[in-house]
Amino acid sequence: MYKHLPDFGISNKILLVEDDPSYVRLVEIMLEQSDLGECEITNVSTLADGLKALKEGNYAAILLDLNLPDSTGFETLETFLTHYPNNNIIVLTGASDKYLGLKAVKAGAQDYLEKGEFDFPQLAKSLRFSIERSNILSRLEDAQRIAKIGHWECRLNKEFFFASNEVYRIFNLDPVEAKFVYADLKNPENPLHVLIQMEEEAKLLGISKREERIVIRNGSTRFISLTCKATRNSLGHYHFNGILQDITEQKRAEEMRNARDLAQESAKIKEQVIANVSHEMRTPMNAILGMTNLLLPMVKEKEEYEYVYSIKQSSEVLLGIINDILHVSAYQNNEIHFSSNAFNLTTVMQDLMEAMRPKAQEKKLDFDLFLPSGLHQQIIGDKLRLNQILYNLVGNAIKFTDKGGVKVKIEILRQTIDFLELRFSIKDSGIGIPDSELESIFETFTRISRKDRVTEGTGLGLAITKKIIEQQGGKIQVVSQLGSGSVFYFDLMFELAPETQLKNKPYKENNSAKDSSTLSFSVLIVEDHKMNQLVIQRTLEKHWKNVKVIVTSNGDEAIEVLEKQSVDIILMDLQMPIRDGFETTNYIRKNMPVQIAQTPILAMTAHHMISQQEKFSRYGLDDYVLKPFDPEQLFEKIEFHLARKALKNA
Ligand code: ADP
C-alpha cells in the first residue's frame, strides 16, 4: 500500500531506538512480513544517537524504547518531545510498565506497544498511522511554505516552545540549525524575541495582533503580520498559539497602490484648483470686458480709444487662456458632449478665413482656402467644436509662420448616401517642429522653446484639439520639417443633412427685419456681484431705450420683488449666497402665481457646460448666457424669449 509514496518530502523511514538486539531483530522480521512495503529501518541504541539521527534525517515514525543506557523511563520520551514535538513516537514499554505507556500517550506520544505482547497487525497499524500523520504534516508544511504562514506554540509552565519550519524561513533562518528553545527567545537579540512581546500583550488582551517590519540576515526588510492567542488551563498555566505571515509582497503592492492613488489624487487636486481658479477668474473678467465694451463707444479721443481697445484685446486673450484651461479639465474628465446640428460647411470655412485673415495680413502672409468640387454643403455635426479645432490649428499656423503663407484645405476621403469623411489640412511655411517634439506637442502645457522667439500661448491648444478630434472618432497627425513648415491634418466623419434641417437660426428670424431698439419691456437682474450688476444693467440700457431694469442681489430679494410686480424676463446668476439661481428658479416656477411662474428665465453663468446639467432643465431654466457675456448674444436671446412669450400669450 505504501510502496509508491508520492514524492513530496514524505518519508517511510523508521527510527528504532532500542538497545536490545533481540527486539531489534524481532521488529525487523515483523516489518518485513507486514504489508507496509519497503520501510527503511535505522536502529540506534542510545538517546543521544536517537536525537542525532533525528537532527539529520526525516522519519515517518520513531519506535522508542523508554529504557536506554543513557536515559530511562518517562524522561526519555520527554527529551524527545521537547526537541521534536511533531515526530510520531511509538513508545515500547515493558509488560509491567503499562501505566507508563498511557502516560506517554497523554504527554504526546502517538501510541504505545507492550514489548512481547504486540503482534504483526498491531505494529503495522500503529506504523501506518504514523506514516499517514507524517504524510499530512508534510503537506501542511508545503501549504505553509506556499502561503508563507508559519505557526508556533508555547507553554510557559514547561518552557516549551515550538515553531514550524516556515517561521524560521520567514526570518531567513535555517529551520534545522536554529530550532530555538524557549530560553533563546528571552534574549532581546534573538530574531524571534518579538514573540515574547506578543505573549505579554496576549496575556492582557487574550489575543494580540501586530505588523512588524524586520530586517533579516541579508540586510533586506520584510513585513510580517503576527497573531498570538493566549489560553489558560485549569491550573492557570498559559498556553500560547500564534501564527506569523510574511506579508512583504502585499505590503509592497499596497505601498505602490497608495503611491499611485496619491499621485492621481494630487493630479486631480491640481487640475481642480486650476479649474476653480480659472472659473473664479471669469467673473471679474466679465466685469472688465463688459465695462470695456461699454466704454469703447464713448471714447472720442484716438489715443484714449487705443488704450481702451488694447485693454479689450488683452482681456480677450486672457479670457481665451482661461477658457482653454477650463476646456482641458472638462476634456480630461470626459465631461464633453457633442451636439449634432446641420450646418453649412462652406460658410463655416469662409467665416473662419475672414476671421483669421487680418492676422495673416498683419504678417503679410498668403492665406488661402481650397475646397473640393462637389462638396456636399449641408452636413450634421458639432459646428462649434469644428470651429474650435480649425481656429486653433490655423491660429498656430499663422503664429509660427513669418514668411510664405498658410493653406487650409478640405479633401473628400469617402462619401456614401448618408456619410461624408473629410480630411482637413492646414499647411504652413513656418518654423517647423523638431522631430523629437512631434509627439509631445499634443500633450498639455507643452511649448517648444525656440532661441529666436518669445514663447507665446499656454501649450494647451493642441491637447484640446486632439481630444475633440479623437472623441469624435477622428485622428490628428502632423508632418513637419524644421525651418520649412508643417502640415497638421485630421479626418472626421459627418452625416449628410437633408435640406429641411438647416433652418435652425431661431434668434434673428423673428426680429431681424425690425429695429428692436424701441422695444419696451422690464427685466429683473438677479446677480450678487456689484460690478456685474452694473455691466448688465448699463449694457441693456444702452441697447434698449425703453427697458426697465430692476436689480436684486440674491434669490430672496428677487422673490420679494416678484411678489409685488411681474417682469417680462429674468436674468439669473446661478452661483449666489442665500438662495442660489437654481433654487430661486425652482421657487418661482412652483410657488408663484402662474403669470409670474411662466416668466422666461435666462441663466447667467460661467459654466460653459451648464445646459448639460440635469438641474438646468429640471428647475425650469429656459436658456443661458455665458459669462463673460457677448452683448450681441445676450440681446438676441432676450429678444427671442420675449417674442416667444408674446406668441404664447397671443
Ligand atoms: P500654444 O497654445 O502654446 O500654441 P499648442 O498646444 O497649440 O500651444 O502648441 C504647442 C506647441 O507646438 C507650440 O508651443 C509650438 O511650439 C508647437 N506648434 C504648434 N503648431 C505649430 C506650427 N504650425 N508650427 C510650428 N510649431 C507649432
Given the CA of residue 457, which atom of ligand 1 is nearest to it? 3
Distance from residue 318's CA to the centre of ligand 1 (Å): 18
pLDDT at residue 309, rounded to an integer: 84
Are 511 and 577 in the same domain? yes
Residue nearest to atom 16 of ligand 1 (CA): 448
Residue nearest to atom 11 of ligand 1 (CA): 447
Residue 124 lies in a domain: yes
pLDDT at residue 35, rounded to an integer: 67
pLDDT at residue 501, rounded to an integer: 42
d(CA 487, CA 425): 7
Tens of pLDDT, residues 429-458: 999 999 988 888 888 766 777 666 666 667
Given the CA of residue 397, which atom of ligand 1 is nearest to it? 23
Check pLDDT > 80 for residue 7.
no
List the CATH number of the domain containing 135: 3.40.50.2300
Share of the chain above pLDDT 90, in %: 38
Are 424 and 351 in the same domain? yes
Given the CA of residue 458, which atom of ligand 1 is nearest to it? 3
Angle, CA of 566, 567 and 572, to the nearest 5°: 120
Query: Ligand 1: which of 462, 469, 484 to mutate, judged by most atoms within 8 Å of the beta carbon?
Result: 462
Distance from residue 360's CA to the centre of ligand 1 (Å): 16
Average pLDDT over residues 496-505: 55
Distance from residue 479's CA to the centre of ligand 1 (Å): 13
Name the domain boundary from 434, 462, 496. Answer: 496
Residue 542 lies in a domain: yes
Residue 193 lies in a domain: yes
pLDDT at residue 339, rounded to an integer: 75
Segment of 3-12, 207-216, 422-431 carrying the highest mean pLDDT? 422-431
Are 490 and 515 in the same domain? no
d(CA 437, CA 434): 5
Do the beta carbons of residue 285 and residue 628 sit within 8 Å?
yes
pLDDT at residue 367, rounded to an integer: 95
Which stretch of 25-29, 202-206, 290-294, 570-574 has the lowest confidence by average pLDDT? Answer: 25-29
Query: Ligand 1: which of 402, 437, 441 to mutate, judged by most atoms within 8 Å of the beta carbon?
Result: 441
Residue nearest to atom 13 of ligand 1 (CA): 447
Query: Ligand 1: which of 398, 437, 447, 478 to mutate, judged by most atoms within 8 Å of the beta carbon?
Result: 447
Given the CA of residue 446, which atom of ligand 1 is nearest to it? 10
Given the CA of residue 462, which atom of ligand 1 is nearest to it? 6
Residues lining ligand 1, Cβ inside 6 A: 392, 396-397, 400, 428, 430-433, 441, 446-448, 457-463, 486
d(CA 601, CA 374): 44
Residue nearest to atom 23 of ligand 1 (CA): 397
Are 140 and 152 in the same domain? no
List the CATH number of the domain containing 228: 3.30.450.20
To 10 degrees, what angle do helices 581-591 and 555-564 make? 30
Check pLDDT > 90 for residue 82.
no
List the CATH number of the domain containing 479: 3.30.565.10
* Residue of 242 and 111 predicted with greater confidence: 242
d(CA 432, CA 337): 33
List the domain range (segments joined by +) for residue 120: 6-144
Check pLDDT > 60 for residue 1.
no
Distance from residue 481's CA to the centre of ligand 1 (Å): 14
DSSP collapsed to 3 states, 6-28: CCCCCCCEEEEECCCHHHHHHHH
Which stretch of 248-252, 323-327, 459-463, 574-578 has the lowest confidence by average pLDDT? Answer: 323-327
To 10 degrees, what angle do helices 631-649 and 530-543 make? 70
Do the beta carbons of residue 622 and residue 645 sit within 8 Å?
no
82 Cβ partners below 8 Å, 6+ apart? 160, 181
Retrieve residue 318's grid coordinates: 486672457
Average pLDDT over residues 543-559: 93
Residue recorded with cell 481665451: 320
Residue nearest to atom 4 of ligand 1 (CA): 457
Distance from residue 487's CA to the centre of ligand 1 (Å): 12
pLDDT at residue 427, rounded to an integer: 97
pLDDT at residue 47, rounded to an integer: 92
d(CA 639, CA 637): 5
Distance from residue 464's CA to the centre of ligand 1 (Å): 12
d(CA 385, CA 471): 11
Are 364 and 411 in the same domain? yes
Note the helical H segments in 453-551: 461-471, 506-509, 530-543
Query: Ligand 1: which of 359, 424, 433 to mutate, judged by most atoms within 8 Å of the beta carbon?
Result: 433
Average pLDDT over residues 38-49: 89
Note the helical H segments in 296-417: 302-332, 345-362, 383-399
DSSP percent split of the chain into helix, strand, coil, nearest 5: 50, 25, 30
Do the beta carbons of residue 338 and residue 471 sit within 8 Å?
yes
Are 441 and 490 in the same domain? yes
Residue recorded with cell 429683473: 524
Tens of pLDDT, residues 165-190: 899 999 998 877 777 888 898 899 89
Distance from residue 447's CA to the centre of ligand 1 (Å): 6
Check pLDDT > 70 for residue 541.
yes
pLDDT at residue 2, rounded to an integer: 34
Q: Per the confidence metrics, is the pTM higher than 0.75?
A: no
Check pLDDT > 90 for residue 428.
yes
Check pLDDT > 60 for residue 8.
no
Share of the chain above pLDDT 70, in %: 91
Which stretch of 193-202, 513-522, 566-575 has the lowest confidence by average pLDDT? Answer: 513-522
pLDDT at residue 499, rounded to an integer: 54
Average pLDDT over residues 77-90: 84
Check pLDDT > 70 for residue 515.
no
Residue 559 lies in a domain: yes
Are 567 and 420 in the same domain? no
Residue 557 lies in a domain: yes
Check pLDDT > 50 for residue 510.
no
d(CA 277, CA 528): 19
User: Could you count the other beta carbons within 10 Å of the beta carbon of residue 374?
Assistant: 7
Given the CA of residue 432, which atom of ligand 1 is nearest to it? 25
| Among 579, 565, 585, residue whose Cα is nearest residue 523 | 565
Distance from residue 459's CA to the centre of ligand 1 (Å): 7
Residue recorded with cell 530555538: 180
Amino acid 582 reads F
Residue 278 lies in a domain: no
Segment of 152-161, 259-268, 553-562 carrying the highest mean pLDDT? 553-562
Tens of pLDDT, residues 266-312: 877 877 787 778 777 877 888 898 889 889 888 888 888 888 888 88
340 Cβ partners below 8 Å, 6+ apart? 380, 381, 382, 495
Given the CA of residue 442, which atom of ligand 1 is nearest to it? 6
d(CA 89, CA 105): 9
Distance from residue 263's CA to the centre of ligand 1 (Å): 28
Distance from residue 441's CA to the centre of ligand 1 (Å): 7
Mode of pairing for the β-strands spanning 238-246 and 149-155? antiparallel
Distance from residue 426's CA to the centre of ligand 1 (Å): 13
Are 573 and 481 in the same domain? no
527 Cβ partners below 8 Å, 6+ apart? 533, 536, 551, 552, 553, 571, 573, 576, 604
Name the domain boundary from 109, 129, 144. Answer: 144
Longest dimension (CA), the chain: 133
pLDDT at residue 507, rounded to an integer: 35
Are 424 and 381 in the same domain? yes
pLDDT at residue 456, rounded to an integer: 63
Number of domains, the chain = 4
Are 105 and 199 in the same domain? no
Distance from residue 421's CA to the centre of ligand 1 (Å): 26
Q: What burial letters (b/e) apply to 198-234, b meaning 16+ CB within 10 Å?
A: bbebbeeeeebeeeeebeeeeeeebbbbbbbbbeeee
Do the beta carbons of residue 161 and residue 154 sit within 8 Å?
yes
Given the CA of residue 428, which atom of ligand 1 is nearest to it? 23
Categorize the per-residue pLDDT at 530 as very low, low, confident or very high, splitting at 50, 70 and 90. confident
Distance from residue 390's CA to the centre of ligand 1 (Å): 13
What spatial distance separates the first Cα and last Cα of the chain, rounded to whole Å?
Answer: 104
Do the beta carbons of residue 376 and residue 496 sit within 8 Å?
yes
Mean per-residue pLDDT over the chain, rounded: 85
Residue nearest to atom 12 of ligand 1 (CA): 441
Distance from residue 396's CA to the centre of ligand 1 (Å): 6
Check pLDDT > 70 for residue 95.
no
Check pLDDT > 80 for residue 337.
no
- Which phi and psi angles does 448 have, rounded to 5°? -90, 130
Distance from residue 337's CA to the centre of ligand 1 (Å): 26
pLDDT at residue 178, rounded to an integer: 77
- Which phi and psi angles does 19 have, rounded to 5°? -95, -5
Residues facing 78 on adjacent strands: none
* Residue of 119 and 575 predicted with greater confidence: 575
Check pLDDT > 50 for residue 506.
no
Are 105 and 119 in the same domain? yes
Name the domain boundary from 127, 144, 161. Answer: 144
pLDDT at residue 334, rounded to an integer: 66
Residue nearest to atom 14 of ligand 1 (CA): 447
Integer-rounded Cα Rg, in Å, for the chain is 45
Average pLDDT over residues 249-278: 85
Amino acid 595 reads Q
Average pLDDT over residues 483-506: 75
Are 484 and 348 in the same domain? yes
Given the CA of residue 426, which atom of ligand 1 is nearest to it? 23
pLDDT at residue 39, rounded to an integer: 76
Do the beta carbons of residue 112 and residue 104 sit within 8 Å?
yes
Residue 54 lies in a domain: yes
Residue 254 lies in a domain: no
pLDDT at residue 647, rounded to an integer: 82
d(CA 485, CA 16): 93
